[in-house]
Structure 1
């Protein structure tokens, strides 16, 4: 599939810029990752960020988002005076695509090319300098594990965490003349190394200037790593593997075809879409997988097992995007959630499932929202009753304290009886053991997030015919009201006696990351964190006019401190427009809230403006913490022209499309098209619309109407048509 709208025809993968966002305004948002969609093998150059002056060896496999490589390969000539387990390289002429990597190690005069499959890869290393007298040599390093040379291949493992290991099987195309062990900078005879920085050194004859290495990885054992390598890359050339991988990316990215808009718009769109495929990852290997959730190897019974999904970030737009374009995979992912719950000690849905198990990071238990979202949109093929019971267990039997997997305790008893998490006053000592010393209680964030989770449980209970559960959780879904301060119009922390903490500043109070009261973001962001009942939030604030005024004021309220002081306390609250933060997931739905209060033109203006300001095709093109698809999904939806404000309903709300034409392959034989007439950066306002040829003036469109296929056409203009849309 080629993309029109530019002078040179390109395929979708040609519009992926892995460097987009590699330099941050404060945090490190993205790494230029080489991987296939949702695949186990991921690598990126190991350096601090894009400006890092040296590479720490060549990567073999990255096992976690933002992690360092589990194994490193370091080529060199043997004339080096000192040897280290991982060599630091000066480099130049680096080029990265989603499926291929090229770099020149300039001081060594070594050229490196790399491409990969799902669980295996191939390195081509050219020791091109004929004037070098030394032998072509490599060091293979495991940071903490074991490596062995058996005369034809290197095998070994690295210990990760929670009794999880990643295994390696690496085969050189040409056999070396010697193998040694590197210990404390000294080469010793031997073919095996163990422990910290276990390192083997292989040496080839001087006239061997081009070396090729094929390898496989596994979370099961070394033999499975070998089988993965043999299945995927053993009998294939570098170019064959690269071409296959390129085609895989084009097939996936091509599920959404865009044309028109600017060249940078297309780069931003397809790069954002590529980021949504980084997580979660399938760890099934020949029908089996190792689960860190119980430490066992399981049969996958023909369904891939997925993990490494940071649900607090991904439930908002990442999971809904997959429901739209990759429903079968989403079913397999949710089925994996259920399996994880069964494999753990308690039947609790995971919150941050990783390769090494559930890290229970962040706050609330939003996996239940993704379960509901899939169910309400017609997906199945996972055990809904077990998913519901696991979600109920995570909310009722596990503590609600952030970053904790402990059973429920005093804090939870208070919440379930009083309907809110109590806050500590300044100087009041924490006495509840399950509360994390740094993350603290985050009482407003947890109360609001759990209200949404319990609303989701209520809808699932209704589907399952559990009347009592439905009524209980539906009542609990209004718990956010318990913290609403009608005098200020904010959600305001209360102490255990039910009294608001006073005096109070919604910008700064709560300490580092506002965690004493909120979580990563301040009270201005959590003011809007009731996506499951926006009409009630409008009523609480005093009606639509006040609601819109409050939204406007958020975008206009100054930081109130220097940027240095503001970000030293709120480093995740970047990408500011007033007190709004474009850099963190709790903000993503906020620009669309104008639609609910009768001012859709402000949503159209705001979405276009925010993306132009903060998401761009350059090194600083992402404003904050991109956790493997969370922020990027917002961009994908927003550039198409609609967004899922409330996962768990079938409703999308309309924004302002960026492209002349969008064609979505829905995976059910149908296509949904979005056509934009008079589209331009200035013409951001919708003047009129038709859906399948009939007039359309609603700010919402239903998921099932999209899934039928068809076309929506927007006519755009440079001034708002304020009376066109209806919220009915």
Structure 2
């Protein structure tokens, strides 16, 4: 009997373990996505748990200031820009409640969010909410606790709504211009009464409401109210057509099932094996984040462009917008080149359309649904185009792109957060080769300078050097020899602000004098904007991505370069955290003076490769991923700008990274997973096998690329574009001789990689 019991227990244990393993094995990519990661920020803007289909026009998330807020404000209909507020909202209300407001605040419970579905219980209203999106339409199922007359308040913050036979239609004006988002909403259940909510009172004799926070109230004599709606940037009629094209059901289950399949197909473009469950959650959540932008706003072959306020035919090429290029050119666009090349070409064509439709003809910097918001500094659309072209993407007019980029870099002011013609500071830059700084006691004398963002002269100079380099490469491809030489020479302007005594990029005044005294941690005022941008001098010390070899030369030797790099991760804050972050709130995720939380830092851990010590990159990358990207509410170290930072996680977890968009190579780091398979399209795949990979075994012992022994800390895009396999043998101790001789190309050595 005892043997029988023991045998039975063993069988049951094996069955349970088998069942558990089956659950894990049968997980799909979307099952690993946790939209709550990063919803509580370290200091600044948190991530938002966005519900949407990949790159789709319709996005929603619960509208609350922070994750810890006690209430949500209504139910969103559409979020028109990344991290923006919603346009329109639905507020369910029982007739038993005497609370009337255009938007009702609810405490809530039992919230569940996935990329393709949202559900929540609204406490006071006693309503169960279930939601699923499509691309340009969506569906709400609402279950009230009572069967008396229940109501929906549909609000427009700045627009006009009117009742229809089965629902509501109207528009809301968004942004500061003429851009409108249109709504067509219909209910499955009969509407028993309706009216306009004006000054928190229902007027049943009114069929429309217009103005600030005016709303329509619909009444139902049902416990269940199901509504579906379409949205458009073209017209109410187009919103209705979008709904009818996409949704023919009132069942959230049906729509959510479609959305889940779409997400699995999308995220399944990259397959990972091995690693921990948390590693997979962080990985696939990061990959999901990269699909929040840009968004496709073509509607039945047409699109509204805020760049000229007109509706255009898209001629079979979808129009994309909502892109903060200062963030996304570094890794988000390079990731798309690999797994979404057709989409990336469409996005570049969208840039060209924006330039052609704008009155100046300039390339966008921060294009949104409402137009170009011209934030940050630099004009990095040229980097996106250069990178795509040199990695083999075609299907866009390179000559037209060049002309628009050249006009942007030579006619548009380099001043941050501005879209104006050249100022005297720009003329100075063209003549002297650097953007001038003010002395600490010198008042600003150029009226065009943004009062808060300041001049940012080091950030502007370095960013423009890189943009000029990218433009020179396109000029070379087009046979524009004179332009190639001119912009290539300008791309070395960083030398004009290099302080050889300190080995930092140091602001100069208009007379060519370095600003003194100077502290590379704190000089520059709020956000260091008087000289840098959001980050301090320790970060911008490394902002020469197109010519790391020359930066090594400037610092004296590879050994000195490594010493300076190591000190970046070791240099103390210098003051208490409160003081440091009060001045530099974007400079979070600190390891010494390194900031994992801000995009100009993302390439820095890979720079050891360029000085012949790749094992230090391997160690550093693993440590940074482990320290700062985790499966919890504070699992993102800073602003995650719609893929700007999480694309770094996707690349780094796979074991490689595009340090310099425009140079078609990838630096090798240290993969988190034992196996990675990336779908490059057309039946081709790039695989990475990391043998013996584990938390401890982070160091590359040897490598084989496409069947050949590989002793380089990098590989080219050509090595993998038609498919390939990289095999890495990993160990727990550094192999300090692997990958040390053939360093990644930069500067002059790029010409050996790219044919002249």
Q: Shorter-chain TM-score: what band?
A: over 0.9
Aligned counterpart, 1:412: 426
Q: Does 1:56 align with 2:73?
A: yes
User: Which string of whole-angstrom CA distances, capped at 9 and with x for unpartnered residues, describes residues 318-363 of structure 1?
Assistant: 0000001110000000000001000000111100000100011100
- d(CA) in 1 for partners of 2:545, 2:25: 43
Structure 1: 5+ residue stretches without partners: none
Within 5 Å, which residues of 2 pair with 1:274-285?
274-285=288-299
- d(CA) in 2 for partners of 1:150, 1:591: 58
- d(CA) in 2 for partners of 1:682, 1:129: 58
Aligned counterpart, 2:752: none
Deviation at 1:435, TM superposition (A): 1.3
What is the aligned counterpart of 2:684 among 661, 670, 673?
A: 670
What's the TM-score, normalizing by structure 2? 0.94
Aligned counterpart, 2:4: none
Q: Does 1:577 align with 2:591?
A: yes
Within 5 Å, which residues of 2 pair with 1:301-320?
301-320=315-334
- Once the two structures are overlaid, the 10-residue window that deviates more, 630-639 or 234-243, is 234-243
Deviation at 1:429, TM superposition (A): 1.4
Deviation at 1:727, TM superposition (A): 4.0
Aligned counterpart, 1:690: 704
What is the aligned counterpart of 1:191 among 202, 207, 219?
A: 207
Deviation at 1:236, TM superposition (A): 6.1
Deviation at 1:8, TM superposition (A): 4.3
Deviation at 1:25, TM superposition (A): 0.8
Deviation at 1:256, TM superposition (A): 0.3
Aligned counterpart, 2:8: none
Counterpart contact for 1:352–1:358, Cα < 8 Å: yes
SS in 2 for 1:79: coil
Aligned counterpart, 1:335: 349
- d(CA) in 1 for partners of 2:624, 2:477: 38
Q: Does 1:566 align with 2:580?
A: yes
Structure 2: 5+ residue stretches without partners: 1-19, 743-756
- Once the two structures are overlaid, the 10-residue window that deviates more, 407-416 or 235-244, is 235-244
SS in 2 for 1:548: helix
- d(CA) in 2 for partners of 1:344, 1:443: 27
Given the superposition, is the C-alpha separation of residues 314 and 727 from structure 1 closer, same or farther in structure 2, using an over 3 Å criterion?
farther
Q: Does 1:451 align with 2:468?
A: no
Aligned counterpart, 2:15: none
Deviation at 1:184, TM superposition (A): 1.0
SS in 2 for 1:61: strand
Aligned counterpart, 2:195: 180
Counterpart contact for 1:524–1:554, Cα < 8 Å: yes
Q: Does 1:369 align with 2:386?
A: no
- Once the two structures are overlaid, the 10-residue window that deviates more, 706-715 or 531-540, is 706-715
- d(CA) in 1 for partners of 2:365, 2:597: 21
Counterpart contact for 2:139–2:250, Cα < 8 Å: no
User: Which string of whole-angstrom CA distances, capped at 9 and with x for unpartnered residues, describes residues 591-640 of structure 1?
Assistant: 00000001101100000000100000110000001000000000000000
- Once the two structures are overlaid, the 10-residue window that deviates more, 704-713 or 335-344, is 704-713
Aligned counterpart, 2:601: 587
Q: Does 1:113 align with 2:130?
A: yes
- d(CA) in 2 for partners of 1:433, 1:448: 23
User: Which string of whole-angstrom CA distances, capped at 9 and with x for unpartnered residues, describes residues 18-50 of structure 1?
Assistant: 001100111123100000100000000000121
Aligned counterpart, 2:86: 69
Aligned counterpart, 1:34: 51
Counterpart contact for 1:6–1:263, Cα < 8 Å: no
SS in 2 for 1:549: helix
Counterpart contact for 1:21–1:621, Cα < 8 Å: yes
Counterpart contact for 2:159–2:210, Cα < 8 Å: yes
Aligned counterpart, 1:400: 414
Counterpart contact for 1:700–1:727, Cα < 8 Å: no
Question: In angstroms, what is the RMSD of aligned CA positions?
Answer: 1.2
Deviation at 1:4, TM superposition (A): 8.9
Given the superposition, is the C-alpha separation of residues 719 and 410 from structure 1 closer, same or farther in structure 2, using an over 3 Å criterion?
same
User: Which string of whole-angstrom CA distances, capped at 9 and with x for unpartnered residues, describes residues 129-160 of structure 1?
Assistant: 46xxx411110000110000022220011111
Deviation at 1:707, TM superposition (A): 1.1
SS in 1 for 2:78: coil
SS in 2 for 1:438: coil
Counterpart contact for 1:214–1:234, Cα < 8 Å: no
- d(CA) in 2 for partners of 1:540, 1:251: 47
Q: Which runs of 4+ in 1 moved over 6 A?
A: 3-6
Aligned counterpart, 1:79: 96
Within 5 Å, which residues of 2 pair with 1:481-630?
481-630=495-644
Deviation at 1:264, TM superposition (A): 0.5
Within 5 Å, which residues of 2 pair with 1:143-292?
143-161=157-175, 162-189=177-204, 190-205=206-221, 208-235=222-249, 237-292=251-306
- d(CA) in 1 for partners of 2:448, 2:495: 25
Deviation at 1:235, TM superposition (A): 4.1
SS in 2 for 1:413: helix
Aligned counterpart, 2:436: 422
Aligned residues: 721
Within 5 Å, which residues of 2 pair with 1:431-470?
431-470=445-484
- Once the two structures are overlaid, the 10-residue window that deviates more, 490-499 or 47-56, is 47-56
What is the aligned counterpart of 2:112 among 89, 95, 102?
A: 95
What's the TM-score, normalizing by structure 1? 0.98
User: Which string of whole-angstrom CA distances, capped at 9 and with x for unpartnered residues, describes residues 265-311 of structure 1?
Assistant: 00000000000000000000000000000000000001100000000
- d(CA) in 1 for partners of 2:218, 2:658: 54
Aligned counterpart, 2:16: none
Q: Does 1:643 align with 2:660?
A: no
